[in-house]
Amino acid sequence: MSAGTPPLSGPPKPQAKALNCPKCGAAIVLRSFGQAETVVCASCHSILDAKDPNLAILQQFEAATNVSKPLIPLGTRGKLRGTDYEVIGFQRRSTRVDGITYYWHEYVLFNPYKGIRYLSEYNGHWNDISICKTLPTADGGEANYLGETYKHFQSAEANTDFVLGEFPWQVRVGEKAAVTDYVHPPRVLSSEKLDKEVTWSIGEYMYGREIWDSFKLPGDPPEAMGVYENQPSPLTTNIRQIWIAFAAFAICLLIVMAGFDMLAKKESVFNQTYTYDRREAKGELSFVTDVFDLAGRTSSVEIKTYSPVSNHWIYLNYALINQDTGQAWDFGREVSYYSGYDSDGSWSEGKQNDSVVIPSVPPGHYYLRVEPEVDPSLPLIPYTIEVRRDVPVFGIYGIAFLALLLPVVVLSWRSYTFERSRWSESDHPPMDFSNISTSSGDDE
């Protein structure tokens, strides 16, 4: 509770003025200590002049078909953002767009020390509204209030359909006002033009649960439907900052990649050319290479195979075997290259060389067991085997890059779709992407 603002708890204060409706005789209770301009009889719905000691009838309206029950009953008291308020008025308003009528509700709240403020509700979305203290400036698509820029959201004609309770202005059913909304989530700046009078108000989005807790209302608030014009994005992160963080990580990744590439030994520890000769290939085809030493720490080993095949293939069954421990890495590699001409022109596929990287090979003495299989139409084919120690694997950086990118893309997409839903209800549908800001607010 703010300093110097006594609570409004307990039964209605005796200051509330009790009068009777001049139309139907029902009791009229004035709760706003003389701040109301009009009061509506809850029984016959006559709009009465609250400033007149005799409550002169200003308007009568047929409410039978337009009765709207307030979600927060008149007279309900609660603590809204630290200040006690009592609900003294309620109105239902509507606007018609493209043949569809949209309804929303407004509640008048009163505190004898703080004065009047309002709550609005549309499809489960709530706003805490107060009259602007200074005059905003509006220029076409934007408005400025207290140094904050608001984007034009929509302009419409608001019709007053139903009223109940007290109002600090001369309310009338059927009254039409030109309403223009500018948004800067979670705030909305609204101008309401009635005749020649323009009233500016500032609203801040509230969740139904906050309203229910503030007024200690029974049950659950109505579920919010869709995305409201000033509803804050559930993504509390500033997307731009995340993209900057991603760029920084990507640069770090490049530095790590360059560093490891420079430090990698890429040492050739074995290089030998063999020839497969079908005429001599009788019996067992497999053979083993000389022993070579893989020094240093546990790291990668690359086996490179080259064979000048053309429209043929050669397949090599490999086993890299640790002579001391019997540990082996078993794999097969094919080298094939095909090319030719057809109606589409020249074509080729495959390569004459192949490379495979064996992961995390401990240091030790190793040899290769090689078992060649060759295209039966090839009588003779040479092939070269090279073994290199400690080679960089750039695919790891590719995966890391994608891993860094993925959450940023997902977050950006979610933010984009949320803003798209918001602006789809505006006068500026989402095809105009300049309306959609990916920066959805400050982090926490």
Partner 1 sequence: MFRKFYLLYGLLTLGTAAFGQYRGWSLDTINQLKNVPKSVRDNPGSYRSVYSGYHHYTGGK
Q: What number of other Cβ atoms are within 10 A of residue 368's Cβ?
A: 21
Contact 162, 174 (CB under 8 A): no
- What is the longest distance spanned by two Cα atoms in the chain? 124
Q: Is 413 an interacting residue with respect to partner 1 (CB under 8 A)?
A: no
Instruction: Output 119 or 321, the one with its CB closest to partner 1.
Output: 321
Q: How far is the CB of 254 from partner 1 (least distance, A)?
A: 11
Instruction: Output 2 or 286, the one with its CB closest to partner 1.
Output: 286
Q: Is 410 an interacting residue with respect to partner 1 (CB under 8 A)?
A: no
Among the candidate windows 29-37, 69-77, 191-199, 365-373, which touches partner 1 by CB under 8 A?
A: 365-373
C-alpha to C-alpha distances, 85 to 51, 111, 211, 365, nearest whole angstrom: 22, 5, 12, 84
Please give the DSSP secondary-structure letter assigned to residue 435: G
Q: Is 400 an interacting residue with respect to partner 1 (CB under 8 A)?
A: yes
Residue whose C-alpha is closest to residue 140's, from 150, 127, 130:
150
Q: How far is the CB of 44 from partner 1 (least distance, A)?
A: 54
Among the candidate windows 22-30, 164-172, 198-206, 335-343, which touches partner 1 by CB under 8 A?
A: 335-343
- Which phi and psi angles does 215 have, rounded to 5°? -100, 5
Instruction: Output 415 or 435, the one with its CB closest to partner 1.
Output: 415
Instruction: Output 72 or 391, the one with its CB closest to partner 1.
Output: 391
Q: Is 323 an interacting residue with respect to partner 1 (CB under 8 A)?
A: yes
Quote the CA–CA distance of 309 and 335 in Å, as a whole number. 8
Contact 76, 152 (CB under 8 A): no
Q: Is 37 an interacting residue with respect to partner 1 (CB under 8 A)?
A: no
Q: Count of residues binding partner 1 (CB under 8 A)?
A: 71
Angle subtended by helix axes 394-424 and 239-263, to nearest 10: 170
Q: Is 339 an interacting residue with respect to partner 1 (CB under 8 A)?
A: yes
Quote the CA–CA distance of 189 and 407 in Å, as a whole number. 34
Quote the CA–CA distance of 262 and 254 in Å, as a whole number. 12
Residue whose C-alpha is closest to residue 185's, from 162, 204, 161, 165:
204
Residue whose C-alpha is closest to residue 381's, from 288, 293, 302, 285:
285
Selected from 102, 169, 313, 416, the binder of partner 1 by CB under 8 A is: 313
Q: Is 229 an interacting residue with respect to partner 1 (CB under 8 A)?
A: no
- Show the binding pattern over residues 275-304: x = contacts partner 1 (CB under 8 A), - = does not: ---------x-xxx--------xxxxx---
Q: Is 245 an interacting residue with respect to partner 1 (CB under 8 A)?
A: yes
Q: Is 342 an interacting residue with respect to partner 1 (CB under 8 A)?
A: yes
Amino acid in the structure at residue 275: T
Selected from 6, 73, 75, 359, the binder of partner 1 by CB under 8 A is: 359
Q: How far is the CB of 277 from partner 1 (least distance, A)?
A: 17
Q: How far is the CB of 167 from partner 1 (least distance, A)?
A: 43
